[in-house]
Structure 1
Amino acid sequence: MSPFGTALLVSGPEALLAQRIVADVKARALAAHPEADVNQINAAELEDSMLAEVVGGSLFSSHIIAVIDDVGACPPQVVDQLVAVAANPPEELCLLLVHPGGVKGKGLIDKLKKAKVPVSTVAAPKPWELTKFVTEEAKLRKVRMSGDAAAELVSAVGNDLRALAAAVGQLADDAEGKEIDVNHVRRYFAGRAEVTSFAVADAVLAGNASVAMERLRWALDTGTATVLITSALAGSFRGMGRYLEASGSRMSDADLARQIGVPPFKIKDLAKTSRNWSVGGVADAIRLIATGDAEVKGAATDAAFALERMVLGILQLRRR
């Protein structure tokens, strides 16, 4: 089916996936009509007669690919015109409307949906879906990647899809067609993994005071934001609390990961470190983290000292 004569609303917070949908539709449209004009504009600029210029033909081409970013910022006086075009696009128009999600421009989005404009939703993957995203990304690069290697990469790089995609690209280039394994990931990202806020949190959950303090000071020395460290600790201890509550139920690791909200490979880590913590200890740790978070956001004069005191206080709560 030709992309011309159609409109598509791409909506959701995951910018990388939204950009890929837009790029795919543009590529198909240009394959059908290579001479087509591509007009891209932010919706906030759609004033006066600008919309007509963006979606209308030119002297040089009758076909138009119009991409309107941040469509929720569309000026109120243009909303009805835009909805009318999207509901009944001319045969020579391929219209792409990009909305980052949220409540901004909700009235316009509701009108577009009521007009039955097709919607493609780009929600961010759940934590347990990230390893699948990484392995699929490797397939796009025409290289095999083991599940363990994908899990190792997520642990090293974090949850940002753009960073993960870039990391897979680097690994694929370096692998030169060979399979990407755990050792490859560790060799390539070892330095980065050691200084992340998640590495600090992992050491604290493991109850290893010397490693936790070493990683904390290393992370601070390399410029890791203090709020990222308290955030990682809060997430890790909330996950531990949910694990302790759910571990008695006879769920599979995959179902348990889904309920807790962590990647499946984290279940083994939680099982191993759970012996260090009681439900009460986790609750007290979360209170200390909340205090530490307030301190690094301005309540304390020395954020680094506040973090060290917080980490040492949490470690004292571990079950002996």
Structure 2
Amino acid sequence: MAAARGAKNRIPQLEWAEAAPAPIVLVSGPEAFLADRAVQAVREALRAATPELEVHDIDAASYAAGELFTIASPSLFAEPRLIRVEGVEKCSDAFLEDAKRYVQQPAEDTTLVLRHAGGQRGKALLDLVRGGAGDGVEIVCPEIKKDQDRLGFVQAEFRRLGAQVTPGAARMLAAAYSGGIGELAGACAQLVSDVGKRISEAEVGRATEGRVETTGFKVADAATAGRGADALVLLRQALSTGTDPIPILAAVNMKVRAMARVYGAAGSGGQLAKQLGMAPWQVDRALREVRGWREEDLARAVDLAAETEWRLKGGSRDPEYALERYIRFIAAKGRR
């Protein structure tokens, strides 16, 4: 269970995978894919218990006064209801007033799901729910954006699918699908369907052949291994075929950040993994790759990463050269 985020939170806060029915279910956070999954899980749980479940949808932005109470009022046969409300962060004044009244005394046999993607609009309603009105729960769906979070999502997806994935294969897959996590989840499911329950780097390599970011990790692997000539050949091949340099830079930066985190750290791989919030295999790889680096050169690499990103995003007339220069620096461990 996720930890409460403030003193006003008096209701359970759940991860999206723990989604379950309650009189009021607040689904908060910007990650739409996880929110959709959470709402679907609530619906499936209710329908499994009551096949005749009535499902109603409300758009909070175009809501008309009284609509919520009309839907929630008992029907002739008193079937259980699920009322799903989208766009609470854009809600009309009428919805806000009705919802604040409703959560104080929810209808029996009714589950109200409130989807709020973020922002201040509707905060008074959220505060009521989080304060305990309606005996609700909150399902938190934060944005999955950081490399480590995306990698964790891939690993969790394979566990959910009952499959095993090697660390390298998970990393390759997370890099190959750098867009929305819906695409990433679909790739995990497709791999399990095509390959089976054991996923290695070879299977991911075949499945992601030609994708930009897989090439990026080949460049990054060569650079951090000190194979500068190989890294530059791979880079030029990628750029010559129209590959976007930004994902290549992201792949290199992911490794540089890992090296910076483990530099000078003392302890076993397992101990460092706990201290740094990294997987043991990530720590072991970063410790290998950081050998031979001096602290001042590694600090310069971190600075150069930000400078290179700025140049790639319009700060230079020759962005490809900027990326080349950065990769040469990494491959030489800063000793130029």
User: TM-score category by the smaller chain?
Assistant: 0.7 to 0.9
- Contact kept? 2:212, 2:243, Cα under 8 Å: no
Q: Secondary structure at the match of 1:34?
A: coil
Q: 2:141 aligns with which of 105, 122, 141?
A: 122
SS in 1 for 2:208: helix
- TM-score of the pair, normalised by structure 1: 0.79
Say whether residues 1:6 and 2:23 are aligned partners: yes
Alpha-carbon distance in 2 for matches of 1:48, 1:309: 61
- In terms of fraction of residues, the more helix-rich structure is 1
Cα gap change, 1:258 to 1:60, in 2 (>3 Å)? same
**How large is the Cα RMSD of the aligned pairs?**
3.5
Call closer, same or farther: CA 1:258–1:193 in 2, change over 3 Å.
Answer: farther
CA contact (8 A) 1:12 1:99 kept: yes
1:275 counterpart SS class: coil
Structure 1 pair 151–317 and aligned structure 2 pair: CA distance change class (3 A): closer
Aligned to 1:153: 170
Do the aligned partners of residues 226 and 261 (structure 1) sit closer, same or farther apart at CA in structure 2, a change above 3 Å counting? Answer: farther
User: What is the CA–CA distance in structure 2 between the aligned matches of 1:105 and 1:264, rounded to whole Å?
Assistant: 42
- State yes or no: 1:15 paired with 2:32: yes
Indicate the larger mover: 199-208 or 99-108: 99-108
Partners of 1:207 and 1:318 within 8 A in 2: no
- What fraction of aligned residue pairs are identical, expressed as a percent? 32
Q: Is it true that 1:81 corresponds to 2:98 in the alignment? A: yes
Letter in 2 for 1:67: R
Q: Distance in 2 between matches of 1:180 and 1:133?
A: 15
Tell me, in whole angstroms, the C-alpha distance in 1 between the residues paired with 2:155 and 2:330: 36
CA distance in 2 between partners of 1:271 and 1:65 (Å): 52
Question: Aligned residue pairs: how many?
Answer: 311
Q: Contact conserved, 2:155 with 2:170, CA < 8 A, in 1?
A: no
The question of 1:236 aligning with 2:236 is answered: no
Please give the secondary structure, in 1, of the residue aligned with 2:290: helix
Deviation string for 1:102-121 (max 9, x for gaps)?
A: 65644432232124432122
1:281 equivalenced with 2:301 (yes/no): no
Query: What displacement does 1:135 show?
Result: 5.2
* Residues 114-160 of structure 1 deviation map (CA, whole Å, 9 limit, x = unaligned): 24432122346786676675455345435x425x2x54123333376
2:188 maps to 168
Distance, in Å, in 1 between the alignment partners of 2:277 and 2:215 is 20
CA distance in 2, matches of 1:129, 1:297: 24
- Equivalent-residue separation in structure 2 for 1:304 and 1:170 (angstroms): 34
Q: Check conservation: 1:8, 1:96, Cα contact below 8 A.
A: yes
Q: Does 1:293 align with 2:309?
A: yes
TM-superposition CA deviations, 1:177-228 (whole Å, max 9, x none): 5543444334433544874434433332222212322333344455554343
Distance in 1, matches of 2:71 and 2:276, equals: 47
Match among 108, 116, 131 for residue 125 of structure 2 = 108
Aligned match of 1:184: 203
Structure 1, unmatched stretches of 5+, are: none
Question: Residue type of the partner of 2:304?
Answer: L
What is the letter of the counterpart of residue 302 of structure 2? I
- What whole-Å deviation, never above 9, does each CA across 1:34-63 have from its counterpart, x for those lacking one? 333322344323344444455556789854
User: Which residue in 2 is equivalent to 1:308?
Assistant: 324
SS at match of 2:298: helix
Who is 1:141 aligned against?
Answer: 161
